[in-house]
């Protein structure tokens, strides 16, 4: 029985620890590296949405390994800030950067859903791939309203659908790669 004013040690949770701090530092470092990659890496394919592989996959993998609550959101923010400050372009520019962060929020929500439900391993990977597709489609929507980005009209609806499909495919692949890398790193770590 606790008396008013007495110290209670029952049900005290550690809200912050060195492991959590280290996890967020890792997310920030990976976000900076992903931002540098987005700003300077040039690929032979110039297809809409392909940069998700450079930033979304490593951010998701880091989020899974570090188990940081808002790791993907923070990682997306750091990636966007880094890429934009280096003159790179990530899904449309600074005016619509909050939607890149929203893509990170979608990844964080996907991880939280998987952690709460007992999915089979292959279902988890598929779920993360779908979360990646949804996140990259958010970045596609961002490009629609960016004054410096691609402009679509009703006259070129086919081009808009092709670009949206490309974003969905690359987001799916980024989620798939991020989940596979994250699970592989977790398995390697626990050996």
Cα 187 from chain centre: 21
Q: pLDDT value at position 66?
A: 94
Q: pLDDT value at position 188?
A: 86
Query: Residue 132 burial (CB < 10 Å; 0-12/13-18/19+)?
Result: buried
Q: Residue 75 and residue 58: Cα distance in Å, rounded? A: 9
Q: pLDDT value at position 151?
A: 54
pLDDT digits (tens, 9 = 90+) for 1-14: 455 554 545 555 55
pTM: 0.84
pLDDT digits (tens, 9 = 90+) for 48-85: 888 899 999 999 999 999 999 899 999 999 999 999 99
Mean pLDDT for 167-179 is 96
∠ CA 80-163-81 to the nearest 5 degrees?
A: 5
Name the residue ranges covered by the structural domains of the chain.
19-189
Q: What is each CA distance from 70 to 13, 73, 124, in whole angstroms? A: 18, 5, 19
∠ CA 153-99-140 to the nearest 5 degrees?
A: 35
Structure tokens at 134: 């949804």
Structure tokens at 25: 């530092």
Q: Average the pLDDT over each of 16-25, 47-56, 83-92, 149-158 and give the range with the smallest value.
A: 149-158
């Amino acid at each position: 029985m606790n008396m008013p004013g007495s110290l209670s040690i029952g049900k005290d949770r550690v809200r912050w620890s060195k492991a959590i701090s280290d996890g967020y530092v890792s997310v920030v470092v990976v976000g900076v590296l992903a931002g540098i990659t987005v700003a300077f890496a040039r690929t032979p394919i110039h297809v809409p949405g392909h940069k998700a592989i450079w930033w979304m996959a490593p951010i998701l993998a880091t989020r899974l390994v570090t188990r940081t609550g808002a790791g993907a959101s923070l990682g997306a923010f750091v990636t966007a800030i880094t890429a934009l400050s280096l003159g790179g372009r990530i899904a449309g520019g600074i005016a619509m950067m909050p939607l890149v962060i929203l893509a990170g929020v979608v990844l964080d929500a996907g991880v939280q859903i998987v952690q709460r439900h007992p999915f089979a391993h292959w279902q988890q990977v598929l779920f993360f791939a779908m979360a990646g597709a949804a996140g990259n489609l958010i970045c596609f929507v961002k490009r629609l309203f960016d004054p410096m980005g691609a402009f679509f009209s009703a006259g070129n609806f086919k081009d808009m659908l092709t670009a949206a499909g490309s974003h969905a495919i690359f987001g799916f692949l980024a989620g798939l790669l991020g989940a596979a890398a994250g699970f592989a790193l977790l398995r390697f770590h626990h050996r």
